[in-house]
Structure 1
Amino acid sequence: MRIVVVGAGAVGGYIAERLSLEGQDVVVIDIDPRRAAEVRERLDALVITGNGASAATLEQAGIGQAGLLLAVTASDGANILACHTARKMGVQRNIARVQDPDLRDGLDGIDVDVVIDPVEAAAEEIAALVVESGLSELIEFGEGQLSLVGGTVTAGSPLVGVPLMDIPRNESFSWLAIAAVRNGSTIVAHGDTTVLEGDHLLLMVKSRNVDRAKSLIGIHDRDIRRVLIIGTTRVARLTTDLLVKAGMEVVVIDPDDARCAAVAEEIPSALVIAADPTDPRVFGELDTNLHDAVVALTGVDSMNLIPCLVAKAMGAATTISRVTRMSYVDLLAGIGVDTTVSTRLTAAASILRFVRRGNIYSVATFSDTDAEVIELEAVPGAQAVGNSLQELTLPYGIVVGGMVRGDIAFVPSGATTIEERDHLIIFAVPDAMPAVESMFSA
């Protein structure tokens, strides 16, 4: 399928790169010659310098033969116009990045199929991770009934050093180890897999058992009473607003007086301090302690790293940092940043379900592995329907972690038989994704 990506910035460039590596027919359009040249150098894709809302440019990109247009520039208006023009020229489906809520509400009747806002999605993810501090992932599936829980395994985990098949099970707590990331490599979990301290482990559980999953990983509950937000970017403001509404005490720190004044007016329940967040004295004056979470959300990776390290050294319970360069993820984890978040990944998760074949309801992506978790429906006539999981002999790289049948969500076993219209939550490495699509699509 030809996919045209309008906008080669942080979000568009990342999505284009990911789709190109999968072998998709990708065309990238950007009005900035410098950005276009950068993408042209690193991608095996057609890159066009031009206005993505222009009919002439879209014609050059072959929009009439495209199955999908992704308009993800920083301009809401340009994205909406690109979708409108592309629809008139025959594109099958389009997705627009729109950040202004007023514009999103007024898109009824305009030729935009799907609207995404990666920043808003990232803020929701960050707020959830603050509430469940210590986790690197907390992703809901099955309308909130099942949760994918991710975290770094500690020495206190009962899983360390024991093959998964030998771990005692409790009937009141069903769980399934999905995968572990160790030294940059993804290990798909099987019965003979042994978890090690320091692994990034992914578990599937019922959502009511998230706390028990944290205990399995070796993460102890932290009594977070205050959140220190570094920066006044849009994602910082949205996260602050969500946490304030959740009843948490929030302090915003930014060196710019004008930006601080604007946030103080916008969110009066938050304490806003104009100060240098890289200065240890700021955290000392705030008496940073084990009841604090520090969330660094500036637009510069280095400006996020330093406050996290300073706060951690002064006793903060947990640190969360926004990253723009994915190559920094492993570095940050190795020097004390507990969790990283990226608007690129949230955008990719929003978009990939429209690229995958079949009835896909949601997609989750990760910072340290290119595997995905997808929620799909087993459609009538699919190869998998009527077979148990053990009869399917799933290829390596695929794990069915959860199922929803009607109103009932559960963690399946090998004996579980797949029925029509079941929703399945499936972990898959990239090479295994075609097998997933063929087995569960008609």
Structure 2
Amino acid sequence: MKIIIVGCGKVGTTLAEQLDGEGHDITLIDNKATSIRNVTDTLDVMGIVGNGASYHVQMTAGIEKADLLIAVTGSDELNLLCCLIARQASDCHTIARVRNPQYNDEISYIKSGMGLSMIINPELETATDISRLIRLPSAIKIDTFAKGKVELLKLQIPQESILNQMKIMDIPSRIRCKVLVCAVERGDEVFIPSGNFVLESGDKISFIATPKDAAYFFHKAGFTNGLIKDVMIVGGGNIAVYLANKLTATGVTVKIVEQSRERCEELSDMLPNALIINANATDHNVLIEEGITDMDAFVSLTNLDEENVLLSLYAQKKSKAKVFTKITRLTYDDVIREMSLGIIINPKAITADRIIQHVRAMQNPKGSNVETLYKIVSNKVEALEFHVRNNPDLVGIPLSNLQTKNNLLVGCISRKDRIIIPNGQDVLQIDDTVIIVTTQTGLDDLSDILE
């Protein structure tokens, strides 16, 4: 597809890298020549210096022949204006990043009124991810499929777990739970495991299950999954607002530590059910006085990565809380991974991933299309959700008889209101949705799973 990206910041650059890697024709627009040059020097993309909301600039970028325009500048209004002009100049799809919480209640109206294909709110998406992980404290990552009826979860196996030294084929009989282990990280290696694969302590496993079965699996496998009742958030930005609203709505007690007195007053008005504390969290006495040692979860969301790292390290030392650390710059990713920072949260990466999912879903070259896509296991594995069309090479044939590509697994079948964790005798039916987990990147159609 021909894709125009307006905004050459971290999100725009990440999108350009991933979409260019998938073979799309990419044009970048930014009013800073240095930003354009930094990207065009490293990627095979076209760059235009100018205002992305200018009709003339969009025409120069080839908007008339574009399939999609993505506006991810730092201004919500500019992003919406870029999309509006693009819709007037062509029949292309449009995606806008809109971050201001004031627009949140009007997103549906804005999207339909302007004919947008998608509106992405990084802070809301980030808060949603964190709140899911707070629901299951032992999970490292949770993604959803089939409109929330199926989850893809990630956990790390501790030394004392019943899963240590267990064959994957023995999990259903030993734990009596319908889950499917679809990927295993062991050190730097990634496996799409067979039934004979033996799990070890320290492995990070990704598995598919319904929300009910996932909770039961954690319980039976010996993971501590007590309810999180008390959460401390440091930093009172938009992510904190969205997260606090989600948590307090489920009865969780939330404390927010924010340094700016003016912002604290705003938070008090927006979050009547949360306790707002005006203090500098880098003063460790503050965190002790506010009860960090008794917290079930600690979320560091300040605007400084370095501060978030220090706060999370301190929280890990002083409490048994589940720790979340916001990191926006992953320049030192290999170093950060080795630090005890709990779960790393990167709003810009989350935004890029959601947009990539949508772009893949737009591609429909053969009738079956990608409904949902997640990159998991450090982007080494993809989990894709396809809608099953009438394909005689796939429909009605036992899965064990399909000649699928190597390192590929059929993870789940959703059939009307029924969720099937499949075995080799299950078959695909028309109108099913099916989840495929694979190290083979770039699958655009369900038939691509066949050799």
State whether TM-score is above 0.5: yes
Q: Which of 363, 368, 371 is residue 373 of structure 2 equivalent to? A: 363
Partner-residue secondary structure (3-state), 1:417: coil
Task: Name 1:416's counterpart in structure 2.
Answer: 426
Give the alignment partner of residue 104 of structure 1, picking from 98, 103, 107: 107
How far apart, CA to CA, are the structure 2 residues paired with 1:183 and 1:439? 27
* Cα deviation 1:11-58 (Å, max 9, x = unaligned): 222122111222222222122333323323332211222111222222
1:242-299 per-position Cα deviation (integer Å, ceiling 9, x unaligned):
1122211111112222222221222122111222222321221123235421011123
Q: CA deviation at 1:115?
A: 1.8
Match of 1:198 in 2: 202
**In the alignment, residue 33 of structure 1 is paired with which amino acid?**
A
Cα shift at 1:147: 1.4
Corresponding residue SS for 1:189:
coil
> Which residue number corresponds to residue 116 of structure 1?
120
> 1:414 and 1:235 mapped to 2: Cα distance?
43
The 5-angstrom pairing of residues 10-409 of structure 1 reads 10-99=10-99, 100-101=103-104, 104-107=107-110, 108-167=112-171, 169=173, 172-215=176-219, 219-289=223-293, 291-328=295-332, 331-356=335-360, 357=363, 358-366=368-376, 368-381=378-391, 383-409=393-419
Match of 1:438 in 2: 448
How far 1:386 sits from its partner (Å)?
2.6
State the Cα distance separating 1:125 from its structure 2 match. Answer: 1.3
Q: What is the SS of the residue equivalent to 1:161?
A: coil
Q: Give, in angstroms, the shift of residue 106 of structure 1.
A: 3.5
Deviation of residue 309 (structure 1)? 0.9
Distance in 2 (CA, whole Å) between partners of 1:330 and 1:411 is 35
What SS is found at the alignment partner of 2:443?
helix
- Which amino acid is the alignment partner of residue 310 of structure 2? I
In the aligned structure 2, how far is the partner of 1:433 from the partner of 1:329? 27
Counterpart CA distance in 2 for 1:430 and 1:85 is 37
Task: Assess, with a 3 A threshold, how the Cα gap between structure 1 residues 354 and 362 changes in structure 2: closer, same or farther.
Answer: same
| SS in structure 2 of the partner of residue 16 of structure 1 | helix
Report how far residue 314 of structure 1 moved.
0.5
Partners of 1:300 and 1:367 lie apart in 2 by 26
Contact residue 142 and residue 409 of structure 1 kept, 8 A:
no
Q: 1:168 to 1:246 in 2, by over 3 A?
A: closer
- CA shift, 1:434, in A, is 4.8
One-letter code of the match for 2:410?
V
Gaps of 5+ in 1: none
Q: TM-score w.r.t. structure 2 length? A: 0.90
Distance 1:382 1:149 in 2: 32
The answer to whether the 8 Å contact 1:388/1:416 transfers is yes
Mean Cα deviation higher: 300-309 or 390-399? 390-399
> Is the Cα–Cα contact under 8 Å of residues 294 and 316 in structure 1 kept in the other structure?
no
Distance 1:175 1:335, change over 3 A: same
Aligned-pair Cα RMSD in Å: 2.4
**Distance between the aligned counterparts of 2:294 and 2:406, measured in 1?**
42
Report the more deviating stretch, 217-226 or 70-79: 217-226
Cα distance 1:299–1:93, how it changes in 2: closer, same or farther (>3 A)? Answer: same
Change (3 A) 1:382 1:347: farther
What do residues 158-212 of structure 1 show as CA deviations (whole Å, max 9, x unaligned)? 2223332344625951111010223344322222333232222101112101223
Contact in 2 for aligned 1:323/1:329 (Cα 8 Å) = no
Going from structure 1 to structure 2, the CA distance change for 1:165 and 1:329 (only over 3 Å counts) comes to farther
Instruction: Single out whichever of 254-263 and 98-107 deviates more from structure 2.
Output: 98-107
Moved more, 283-292 or 216-225: 216-225
CA distance in 1, matches of 2:119, 2:87: 15
2:114 aligns to what SS in structure 1?
A: coil
- SS in structure 2 opposite 1:48? strand
SS at match of 2:302: coil
Would the aligned equivalents of 2:135 and 2:227 in 1 still touch at CA under 8 Å?
no
Describe the shift of the 1:88–1:67 C-alpha distance in structure 2 as closer, same or farther (beyond 3 A). Answer: same
Tell whether the 8 Å contact from 1:345 to 1:366 is kept in structure 2 after alignment. Answer: no
Please say if residues 134 and 338 of structure 1, whose CA atoms lie closer than 8 Å, have aligned partners that are also in contact.
no
Give me the whole-angstrom Cα distance separating, in 1, the residues matched to 2:117 and 2:392.
Answer: 27
2:440 and 2:333 map into 1 onto residues whose CA distance is 20
CA distance in 1 between counterparts of 2:419 and 2:334 reads 34
Task: Please state whether the residue corresponding to 1:299 is helix, strand or coil.
Answer: coil
- Count, aligned residues: 440
Deviations 1:118-154 (A, max 9, x none): 2211111111212221311122222322211112221
CA distance in structure 2 between the aligned counterparts of 1:185 and 1:71, rounded to whole angstroms: 36
Q: CA deviation at 1:300?
A: 2.4
Q: Distance in 1 between matches of 2:445 and 2:131?
A: 35
Q: Quick one: distance in 2 between partners of 1:410 and 1:328?
A: 41
1:387 maps to a residue whose letter is I
The answer as to whether partners of 1:329 and 1:340 remain within 8 angstroms in 2 is no
Paired residue secondary structure (2:147) = coil
Select 1:429's aligned residue among 421, 434, 439: 439
Contact 1:69/1:91, CA 8 A, preserved across alignment: no
Q: Matched residues in 2 for 1:382 and 1:64: separation?
A: 38
CA distance in 2, matches of 1:216, 1:33: 57
Alpha-carbon distance in structure 2 between the residues aligned to 1:387 and 1:67:
36
Q: Partner of 1:289: helix, strand, or coil?
A: helix
